Structure 1
Amino acid sequence: MDFGGDGDVAFEVRGHAGIISLTRPDALNAINHKMVRAMDAALDAWQSDDRVTHIILKGEGRAFSAGGDLLELYRMSKSGRPHYDFFRDEYLLNARLGVYPKPVVPMIDGIIMGGGVGVAVHGPYRVMTENAVFAMPEVGIGFFPDVGGSHFLSRLPGHFGLFLALTGTRIRAGDALASGIATHALPAEGLDALEDDLCKSPDTASVLDRHDNREALPAAKLDHKEIGRLFSGRSVIEVVEELGRSAPDSEFAAKTLAAIGRNSPTSMSVAFRQLLEGVSLSLADCMRMEYRILVRMLQGHEFIEGIRAVIVDKTNDPTWNPARLEDVSADAVDAYFAHLNDDELTGFSEVQ
């Protein structure tokens, strides 16, 4: 079964399941434009296919998907030809997955970041194993937590989404379950049996509940109550101030403060604002907002500098401009959220 993708993504219908396999293990299944278009074509076909009652989404190798193809985006941005079309189609796919009429079941058995998060989190289910590593590390490369981050991160309890957005912290299945990012969990050795049963049965919820074995995985490691207190500020500066007050008595606060200090002040300020606004917006409206931010990010300094330092040169020495949180003006942040007039993101196939 071929919907395109040039071998980077594979498709199969087996029993009751449409199966999408991300097949770029050497690139940690980083999502490119061909894969986005192919997945969208499969969803088109399977929406009216009576054989398919649910979609299984999985990745080959040690990653579910580590994000987008950052080197490709970096090269295009440096050339003066930012890849707006990729993000436009990716964001439309993210929004579609949030309202797709057939349940999508991501089987997350490895790294999931950035663009991989965008294709996994907007449906009703997320299955994780002990190998799952979840993060939204965008502010560390001068970007922002996109692919619907303003929608799903803003709805996590106890300011946990803001914590993830501002720090880029990597979490495992226990903390993903505790925060609601994961809905089910089981040891990796049970994934094949889960997939077989999803192919045999049309009852998605019953199959997932029967295979759920979260007790076999390590519990949450983070203190979610402490995170809720530390990240309750009304601005990034207030969060940093609370971390500073708590750091002498809290190793966690001290490490978190150090982590935030390495990130782009502009990106963190934008991320704070997008989550603040996103909590009251539909997924479609969040994607429209994020596309506005995206266009400005690709035209600016922070993203290219972050990719250079972290991905290209691997020196981890980005020069952010401005370099201090207090120098990021309200007007500068506002500019990221301004309407794009005729270039607004449109074309949503569902009312959201």
Structure 2
Amino acid sequence: MFYNLLTRTLLPAALGNNTRLNALRALSSSPSIDTVLATESSSKGLIILNRPKALNAINLEMVRKIYKHLKKCEKSKLLVIIKGTGDKSFCAGGDVRAIVEAGPTEESKSFFREEYTLNHLIGNYKIPYIAFMDGITMGGGVGLSVHGRYRVATERTLFAMPETAIGLFPDVGGSHFLPRLNGKLGLYLGLTGFRLKGEDVTNAGIATHYCPSDKLKHLESALLNCNDPDDIPDIMNSLTTKPEKKFILGPHLKTINKCFAAPSVEDIFKNLSEEGSEWSLNTLDILKKMSPLALKVTHRQLEHGSNLSLTQCLIMEYRMVVRHLEDSDFKEGVRALLIDKDQKAKWNPSTIEAVTSERVAKFFAKLPDTEELKLTELNWVLKNGDKYLQR
């Protein structure tokens, strides 16, 4: 999900006495605007996220529209392109303030349930899915892009999974793609919320291609005029460029791999402290600002996710998010950063050492059968793979 201060405009203003009702409305609809422009030619599909004032943040209504259009296109089209309106954002995520203020309602659960189902569809899409990650791509926007076959970054791309700062965890399939990045880079990104910009999104292995924003229209036109899906790789390669800049985290990858290979968050803290460089100590300071509970939950999440399929990861994450709606630092994190904006979250517990293994394990516990996330492989997972979800 999403908390970035750059996009506070997407969050409802003073909600008055009808906070809960308004929060539910914010989750499900955006009156007087067509939030998803879903168009198609005879052989191509195009999805445009159309909430520019909210930096194309998604709600339940948008999730449903995107899912419906993707299912339709999968049966009859050669490819699908998804992009955002404007030049600031592909998709800045979801409205976490509305989610927190709505509480653990069926509406909130429906948002996550259907969003994760959409992520699953994208990750298993049968025809080429091409995401233009032009601008802010965080939280829910990552889920709409990173699982697709082609992900195109531009110089305006700003990527992050910043959830630990609001007491949450990197969801929308973060447990699947983050552990599969080079070395311990994914764990570093997931715990710290570090922001990658432009070419570095490709250098990190998150985007598959890089294209200057002024060339993006040309790439889109070529794809929409393509008549043979076998030509798509050549089109992508010929109209995109290789990153020219060296990876911003390149000089620190050895330290990241060493310090973040530790078996626990406490040991990561210890490694960074003992390494002692300016970069390591700055990283340690960043981690100390995050929710200790969220850090430990995320560490276990990504450890588990390295051994799970995308389907299994999303089932696990749905269990986790339901528990977060019920009892976690999520509400306090959103309060401190987005509601009261005092930047003084009172985490519970307040230290890493006070977060017990038993508390962490509760986030991974199986839900009642009727409440589990229902995906294609669910029956197989529950029969054969549940030991991995609850280790």
| TM-score, normalization by structure 2 | 0.84
1:250-289 aligned within 5 A:
250-289=277-316
Contact 1:21 1:59 in 2 (8 A): yes
Q: Secondary structure at the match of 1:315?
A: coil
> Is 1:295 the counterpart of 2:292 in the alignment?
no
For 1:189, the equivalent position in structure 2 comes to: 214
Contact 1:15 1:199 in 2 (8 A): no
Q: Aligned pair in 2 of structure 1 residues 96, 219: CA closer, same or farther (>3 Å)?
A: same
> Is 1:243 the counterpart of 2:272 in the alignment?
yes
**Number of residue equivalences:** 343
Contact 1:9 1:35 in 2 (8 A): yes
Q: Secondary structure at the match of 2:40?
A: strand
> Is 1:329 the counterpart of 2:356 in the alignment?
yes
For 1:158, the equivalent position in structure 2 comes to: 183
> Is 1:98 the counterpart of 2:123 in the alignment?
yes
Q: Secondary structure at the match of 1:180?
A: coil
How far the C-alpha of 1:252 sits from its partner, in A, is 1.4
How far the C-alpha of 1:219 sits from its partner, in A, is 3.2
Q: Secondary structure at the match of 1:326?
A: coil
**Amino acid of the structure 2 residue aligned with 1:130:** E
Find 1:231's aligned residue among 220, 241, 260. 260
> Could you give the per-residue CA deviations for residues 103-141 of structure 1, whole angstroms, max 9, x where no partner exists?
111111111110110110112211000110100000000
Find 2:75's aligned residue among 48, 61, 73. 48
Contact 1:173 1:220 in 2 (8 A): no
What is the alpha-carbon distance in structure 2 between the residues aligned to residue 70 and residue 83 of structure 1?
10
Contact 1:237 1:326 in 2 (8 A): yes
Q: Which runs of 5+ in 2 are unaligned?
A: 1-28, 382-391
For 1:175, the equivalent position in structure 2 comes to: 200
What is the alpha-carbon distance in structure 2 between the residues aligned to residue 60 and residue 349 of structure 1?
34
What is the alpha-carbon distance in structure 2 between the residues aligned to residue 255 and residue 192 of structure 1?
40
Contact 2:311 2:377 in 1 (8 A): no
> Could you give the per-residue CA deviations for residues 24-48 of structure 1, whole angstroms, max 9, x where no partner exists?
1111111100010001100121111
Q: Secondary structure at the match of 2:353?
A: helix
What is the alpha-carbon distance in structure 1 between the residues aligned to residue 211 and residue 303 of structure 2?
33
Q: Secondary structure at the match of 1:261?
A: helix
**Amino acid of the structure 2 residue aligned with 1:245:** E
Contact 2:157 2:201 in 1 (8 A): no
What is the alpha-carbon distance in structure 1 between the residues aligned to residue 107 and residue 125 of structure 2?
29
What is the alpha-carbon distance in structure 2 between the residues aligned to residue 338 and residue 205 of structure 1?
42
Contact 1:103 1:124 in 2 (8 A): yes
How far the C-alpha of 1:175 sits from its partner, in A, is 2.6
How far the C-alpha of 1:82 sits from its partner, in A, is 6.3
For 2:90, the equivalent position in structure 1 comes to: 64
**Amino acid of the structure 1 residue aligned with 2:209:** H
What is the alpha-carbon distance in structure 2 between the residues aligned to residue 80 and residue 306 of structure 1?
19
How far the C-alpha of 1:69 sits from its partner, in A, is 1.3
**Amino acid of the structure 2 residue aligned with 1:331:** E
What is the alpha-carbon distance in structure 2 between the residues aligned to residue 162 and residue 213 of structure 1?
28
How far the C-alpha of 1:214 sits from its partner, in A, is 2.6
How far the C-alpha of 1:16 sits from its partner, in A, is 4.0
**Amino acid of the structure 2 residue aligned with 1:230:** C
Contact 2:349 2:355 in 1 (8 A): yes
Q: Which runs of 5+ in 1 are unaligned?
A: none
Percent of aligned positions with the same letter in both sequences? 41
What is the alpha-carbon distance in structure 2 between the residues aligned to residue 257 and residue 347 of structure 1?
38
Q: Secondary structure at the match of 2:247?
A: coil
**Amino acid of the structure 2 residue aligned with 1:348:** T
Q: Secondary structure at the match of 1:126?
A: strand
Contact 1:92 1:348 in 2 (8 A): no
Q: Aligned pair in 2 of structure 1 residues 323, 45: CA closer, same or farther (>3 Å)?
A: same
> Could you give the per-residue CA deviations for residues 294-325 of structure 1, whole angstroms, max 9, x where no partner exists?
01001114111000111111111110000100
Contact 2:204 2:247 in 1 (8 A): no
| TM-score, normalization by structure 1 | 0.93
For 1:74, the equivalent position in structure 2 comes to: 100
> Could you give the per-residue CA deviations for residues 61-111 of structure 1, whole angstroms, max 9, x where no partner exists?
20111111112112201x866610110000011011101101111111111
Contact 1:107 1:128 in 2 (8 A): yes
> Could you give the per-residue CA deviations for residues 181-236 of structure 1, whole angstroms, max 9, x where no partner exists?
11100111000000000001132211111112134x53321132332222111111
